[in-house]
A and B are shown apart, each in its own frame.
Chain A
Amino acid sequence: MKMTPLAVVVGSLLILGAVVFVAVILPTADTSNTPASDILRPRTPAENQGRALYIANGCVFCHSQSIRNIDWDLGAKRIARAGDYLMDRPILLGSERTGPDLSQEGGEHPDDWHTAHFKNPRITRPLSIMPAFAFLDQGSRNSLIRYVQGLGLKDADLRMKRQTYWKKESVRAYEAGPEANIRWLHDMVPEGWRKLPNPYPTTAAGLARGHKIYQDFCLGCHGPIGDGMGPAQADLYPPPLNFTILKGRGITGGILYYQIMNGITGTAMPYFKRELESEKIWDVGDFAAVYFINQSDAGGDPAGIDAAYE
C-alpha cells in the first residue's frame, strides 16, 4: 500500500467519519426516544443554580451519579435508568468515587446537616477528605444544598417531606425541655428495643473499639466529651444530644442501638445501619453509656444463652 499524504489524511478522516456514525450518531439516535423515568421532574431555578456550582467546583470528580446493580452504598436503593438523566446537560455520571454516589442524596439528611457539612465536611464526618466550602458565600452554599436535596428528584421530594415533618416534631420536643425531649425520643423507639439491655458486658476492648467508632462517626456533633458541643453544633437545630442528660431517664442499650442504627429523621442524626455492623453499634453505644451517661446496662438481664464471644 502506498501511503500518500492524501491516503493518510483523507483515509483516516473517512475511517473516523464511519466510527462517529457507528459509535456516536447511531447510539444517539438509539437513545433519543428514551422515555422519562418515574422519578423525573423539572429542577427548580435554585436547584439549577446549585447544579452550576456543583459543576464549577468539580464535585463530579469525586462524586458519581450512577448507581449500578452491584452497589450497596448511598443511593443503592435505586439502580440508574437512562430515563433519569433526560434533563442533565451535561450528564454528571462521574468516573471516580472518592466520595459516595449522590444519585439519591436528596433527603438523606436535613438542610442544617448540609449547612454544617459544606462549611467543613469534617465537622459532621470526621474522616472525610472533601474540601471545605467555607470559601463560598452562604447563598452559594444554600444553592448547592438545594441541588443536593433535589438529587433523586421525585424520590428526593418524598424523603424531604419526611425530613420536614420530623424536623417539626423534633424541634417541638426539643423546645419542650430536656425531660419532655428525652421522653419523646424514647417513646419513638419501638417497645421491644426500649426494653432491651445491651446483651454484651462492658469490656476494656469493647470500650476501645467503641471509642474508635465514636471518633470516626460521632465526635463532630456530640463532641469529644459527649455534651453535644461538637463543632457542628453551631449549625444544627435541634442541636446534637447532650448524652449526660440521659442519666436516670430510662436509657437502655436497646434505645441507644436503635437510635444509632435508624438515626432520627428530621434531626442531623443520620442512620448508621449501612456503615456499622451490629457489634460496632453495641460497642459505640456502650462507650457513650459508660463514659458520657455513666449508666450502662451492658451484660444485664435478661440474658439468653451465654455468648461464645463477648
Chain B
Amino acid sequence: MVIFRKLDTISYPTALGFALTSAVWMAIATFTGLLGATELIAPDLTSAWGWLEFGRIRPIHVNLVIFGFVGPGLFSAAVYILPRLLRTSLYSERLGVLTVSAWNITLLAATVSLSLGYSQGREYAEMVWPIDVLIVVGLLLLFFNLVMTVRKREEPVLYVSVWYMLAAVILTASTFALGNVIWQPSTGALAGIPDAIILWFYGHNVFGLFLTPLSIGVAYYVIPRACRAPLYSHTLSLIGFWALIVVYTHIGTHHLLQVPVPTWLKVIAIVDSVAMVIPVMAFLINIWYTVKGKLGEIHADIGARFIFSGTIMYFFVSIQGSMMALPDVQRVTHFNNWVVGHAHIGVLGFSGMIAIGGLYHVLPLMLRRPVYSLFLADLQYWLILIGVSGFAVVLTIAGLIQGNAWLNGETVYRVLSQIHVYYVIRASLGLMIFTGALIGVYNMVGTIWFRGEASS
C-alpha cells in the first residue's frame, strides 16, 4: 500500500501511467517491426533464435502496436480529457493505476507467449485465452472508471469526445470477446468459413471501434483547444458518431471478397465500405472547418500538429480503404504489400500520430510544465511523418509489382527478388520510426522527471 500512498502525491497517475506505457511499448513495438522488416531482407540473420522467427515476431509487432502503443496512448489522453470535459476528476485513480498495471502485465505476457509460440494463429486475435480475458477485463475496468466519472460529472452536456471514448472502450470489449471466440478457450476459433467471417468482423473493428473512435475523440478535444475556436458543427459530430458505429462495424467481409462467403454479405461489405465516406468526411469536415484560417495555431502546438497530420492521413487511408473494397481493385491489391502499406498509414499515420500528439498535448497540462524538448518532439514528428509516408510509397509500389505480376501469371517466388529493394528501403524507414520512438521515450521521461526548464 506504500505505492498507493505515494500515488496520492502524484496528479493524474493513471493518465501518466498510460502515457509511459504507450511510449515504452512503442519503442518495443517499432523495434519488432524493424526486426521483422530486416528478417525479410536477411532471413538467416536470427535463425539461431527460434523465438525471433518472423512468424512469431509479426504478431508481436502487430499486437504491441495496437494494444501497447496506440491504445494506451489514446487511453492516456482519454483518461485525462474525459474528466476535464465533465468538470470532475477521474472516478478512481487507484482503479486506474491497477488497470495500467494489469494492462502492462498483459502486454508482457502477450509478448513472451507469442515469442514462445503460444498463438491461436488468427490475425489480431493471436493471443491465447488467458491474455484475451485479461484484455477484456482491462477494458471493462477502464470502462467502469470512465462511466463512474461520467456519473459524478458537474457538466451536464456530454461533449463529442466523451461519446467516442465511452463507445470505443465498451464496444471494443464486446467485439474483442466475440472475435477471439472467447467461449472456446482452447482454439479461440470457430470452424471453417464462419471463423473467417467472425475473425474479420473483429479484425476490422480493431480499427473501426478501437483505434478510430479513440483517435477521433482525442482530435475533437485537442484541435479546437489548440486553435482556440469552437467546434464547427454539432450536427456533423452527431452524424459522424452514429454513422461510424452503424457503417464501420459491418464491412469486415471486404477482407474476404475472394473467398467463398455468402455473396449477399460481400455486397453489403462493398457497398458500405464506400459509404464509409460519410462518417469519415463528417469528422474531417468538422475538424478542418474548425481549423480554417488557424493553421498557425496548429503549427505552434506540437501535439496539435501531430494530430492534424493524423487527420490528413485518415483522409488518405479512408479513401484508399473504400477503393480497396472494390473487387476490381482488390484483384491487384489483395494478398500483397499494398495492404501492409495501407495498414501502416492507418495505424501509424492516423491513430499512431494522434496518440503521440495527444500525449504531447496533455502531458504539459497534466504536469503544468512544458514538453522537455520541443526540438526533439519536432525531430520525432518528422522522423515518423517521413517514415510512414515513405512506407506508403514503397509498400504500395511493392504491392503493385506483386499484384500485377501475379495477375499476369508470374509466381510468388519469381517476384520476390523484384521487391527486395523496396524491402530494404522499408527497413531503413523502419529504422527512422524506431529512432522516433526512442526519442519519444526520452522526451517523455524528460518531461516527467527532469525538473529543469525545458530547452526549446
* A residues at B contact (CB < 8 Å): 1, 3-5, 8-9, 11-13, 15-16, 19-20, 22-24, 27-28, 30-32, 34, 53-62, 64, 66, 68, 70-74, 80-82, 85-101, 120-122, 125, 127-136, 216, 274-275
Taking A1-B238, A55-B119, A132-B43 as contacts, is the C-beta distance between A90 and B199 under 8 angstroms?
A: yes
Query: In the complex, are the beta carbons of A97 and B191 less than 8 A apart?
Result: no
Bound-complex Cα distance A73 to B406 (A): 8
Query: In the complex, are the beta carbons of A73 and B412 less than 8 A apart?
Result: yes
B182 within 8 A of A: no
Query: In the complex, are the beta carbons of A28 and B53 less than 8 A apart?
Result: no
List 4 extra interface pairs beyond A32-B194, A58-B126, CB under 8 A. A3-B163, A31-B193, A85-B196, A101-B412
Chain A, Cβ-Cβ closest to B41 = A129
B147 within 8 A of A: yes
Query: In the complex, are the beta carbons of A31 and B192 less than 8 A apart?
Result: yes
Bound-complex Cα distance A9 to B140 (A): 13
Q: Which residues of B contact A92 (CB under 8 A)?
A: 121
Bound-complex Cα distance A273 to B117 (A): 37
Could you list 13 examples of A-B contacts with CB < 8 Å? A3-B158, A15-B249, A19-B249, A23-B201, A85-B196, A87-B192, A88-B192, A89-B191, A89-B192, A90-B188, A90-B190, A95-B123, A120-B47
Query: In the complex, are the beta carbons of A90 and B255 less than 8 A apart?
Result: no
Query: In the complex, are the beta carbons of B171 and A12 less than 8 A apart?
Result: yes
Across chains A and B, which 7 residue pairs bring their CB atoms closest together, nearest first? A58-B55, A90-B189, A55-B121, A135-B50, A56-B117, A89-B191, A23-B250
Taking A73-B411, A131-B53 as contacts, is the C-beta distance between A58 and B197 under 8 angstroms?
A: no
Q: Which of B13-21, B89-97, B261-269, B313-321 contacts A (4 or more CB under 8 A)?
A: B261-269
Query: In the complex, are the beta carbons of A100 and B340 less than 8 A apart?
Result: no
Most chain A CB inside 10 Å of its own CB: which residue of B175, B198, B252? B198
Query: In the complex, are the beta carbons of A95 and B167 less than 8 A apart?
Result: no
Query: In the complex, are the beta carbons of A97 and B412 less than 8 A apart?
Result: yes
* B residues at A contact (CB < 8 Å): 39-41, 43-44, 46-50, 53-56, 58-59, 117-123, 126, 147, 150-151, 158, 160, 162-163, 166-167, 170-171, 174-175, 178, 187-199, 201, 209, 238, 242, 245-246, 249-250, 252-253, 255-256, 258-262, 265, 268, 331, 335-336, 339-340, 402, 406-407, 409-414, 416-417
Query: In the complex, are the beta carbons of A80 and B47 less than 8 A apart?
Result: no
Instruction: From B174, B194, B413, give the contact of A100 (CB < 8 A).
Output: B413
Instruction: From A53, A90, A125, give the contact of B195 (CB < 8 A).
Output: A90
Q: Which residues of B contact A127 (CB under 8 A)?
A: 413, 416-417
- Min CB distance B333 to A, Å, is 12
Query: In the complex, are the beta carbons of A132 and B55 less than 8 A apart?
Result: no
Chain A, Cβ-Cβ closest to B248 = A19
Q: Which residues of A contact B54 (CB under 8 A)?
A: 58, 61-62, 131
Chain B, Cβ-Cβ closest to A53 = B117
Bound-complex Cα distance A258 to B165 (A): 65
Query: In the complex, are the beta carbons of A24 and B198 less than 8 A apart?
Result: yes
Bound-complex Cα distance A66 to B189 (A): 18
Q: Which residues of A contact B253 (CB under 8 A)?
A: 23, 27
Taking A22-B250, A27-B265, A80-B260 as contacts, is the C-beta distance between A135 and B197 under 8 angstroms?
A: no
Bound-complex Cα distance A96 to B342 (A): 13
Q: Which residues of B contact A93 (CB under 8 A)?
A: 196, 256, 259
Query: In the complex, are the beta carbons of B412 and A91 less than 8 A apart?
Result: no
- Min CB distance B417 to A, Å, is 5
Q: Which residues of B contact A82 (CB under 8 A)?
A: 192-193, 260-261
Query: In the complex, are the beta carbons of A96 and B339 less than 8 A apart?
Result: yes
Query: In the complex, are the beta carbons of A74 and B411 less than 8 A apart?
Result: yes
Bound-complex Cα distance A34 to B49 (A): 42
Instruction: From A57, A71, A85, give the contact of B193 (CB < 8 A).
Output: A85
Query: In the complex, are the beta carbons of A96 and B166 less than 8 A apart?
Result: no
Q: Which residues of B contact A131 (CB under 8 A)?
A: 39, 43, 46-47, 53-55
Query: In the complex, are the beta carbons of B245 and A12 less than 8 A apart?
Result: yes
Query: In the complex, are the beta carbons of B44 and A5 less than 8 A apart?
Result: no
Query: In the complex, are the beta carbons of B335 and A64 less than 8 A apart?
Result: yes
Bound-complex Cα distance A24 to B194 (A): 8
Query: In the complex, are the beta carbons of B262 and A16 less than 8 A apart?
Result: no
Chain B, Cβ-Cβ closest to A59 = B55
Q: Which residues of A contact B198 (CB under 8 A)?
A: 24, 28
Query: In the complex, are the beta carbons of B249 and A58 less than 8 A apart?
Result: no
Chain B, Cβ-Cβ closest to A134 = B47
Query: In the complex, are the beta carbons of A88 and B195 less than 8 A apart?
Result: yes
Instruction: From B43, B120, B406, B409, give the contact of A128 (CB < 8 A).
Output: B43
Query: In the complex, are the beta carbons of A23 and B268 less than 8 A apart?
Result: yes
- Min CB distance A95 to B, Å, is 6
Most chain B CB inside 10 Å of its own CB: which residue of A13, A70, A92, A100? A70
Q: Which residues of A contact B167 (CB under 8 A)?
A: 8-9, 12
Bound-complex Cα distance A62 to B196 (A): 17
Chain A, Cβ-Cβ closest to B266 = A27
Query: In the complex, are the beta carbons of B191 and A15 less than 8 A apart?
Result: no
Query: In the complex, are the beta carbons of B201 and A89 less than 8 A apart?
Result: no
Query: In the complex, are the beta carbons of A9 and B166 less than 8 A apart?
Result: yes
Query: In the complex, are the beta carbons of A70 and B407 less than 8 A apart?
Result: yes
Instruction: From A8, A57, A66, A101, give the contact of B53 (CB < 8 A).
Output: A57
Query: In the complex, are the beta carbons of B193 and A90 less than 8 A apart?
Result: no
Q: Which residues of B contact A81 (CB under 8 A)?
A: 260
Taking A82-B260, A125-B413, A127-B413 as contacts, is the C-beta distance between A23 and B265 under 8 angstroms?
A: yes
Bound-complex Cα distance A73 to B408 (A): 10
Query: In the complex, are the beta carbons of A58 and B192 less than 8 A apart?
Result: no
Q: Which residues of B contact A98 (CB under 8 A)?
A: 40, 412
Bound-complex Cα distance A84 to B348 (A): 37
Query: In the complex, are the beta carbons of A136 and B50 less than 8 A apart?
Result: yes
Taking A9-B166, A12-B171, A58-B54 as contacts, is the C-beta distance between A28 and B260 under 8 angstroms?
A: no
- Min CB distance A20 to B, Å, is 7
Chain A, Cβ-Cβ closest to B417 = A127
Instruction: From A13, A53, A89, A130, give the contact of B189 (CB < 8 A).
Output: A89
Taking A12-B245, A90-B188, A129-B416 as contacts, is the C-beta distance between A96 and B336 under 8 angstroms?
A: yes
Query: In the complex, are the beta carbons of A19 and B43 less than 8 A apart?
Result: no
Bound-complex Cα distance A62 to B36 (A): 12
Bound-complex Cα distance A5 to B152 (A): 12
- Min CB distance B185 to A, Å, is 13
Most chain B CB inside 10 Å of its own CB: which residue of A68, A89, A129? A129
Q: Which residues of B contact A80 (CB under 8 A)?
A: 259-260
Query: In the complex, are the beta carbons of B174 and A13 less than 8 A apart?
Result: yes
- Min CB distance B130 to A, Å, is 16
Bound-complex Cα distance A30 to B194 (A): 9
Bound-complex Cα distance A98 to B41 (A): 12
Taking A23-B201, A88-B192, A97-B412 as contacts, is the C-beta distance between A216 and B417 under 8 angstroms?
A: yes
Bound-complex Cα distance A127 to B253 (A): 34
Instruction: From B151, B256, B261, give the contact of A5 (CB < 8 A).
Output: B151
Instruction: From A5, A15, A31, give the contact of B194 (CB < 8 A).
Output: A31
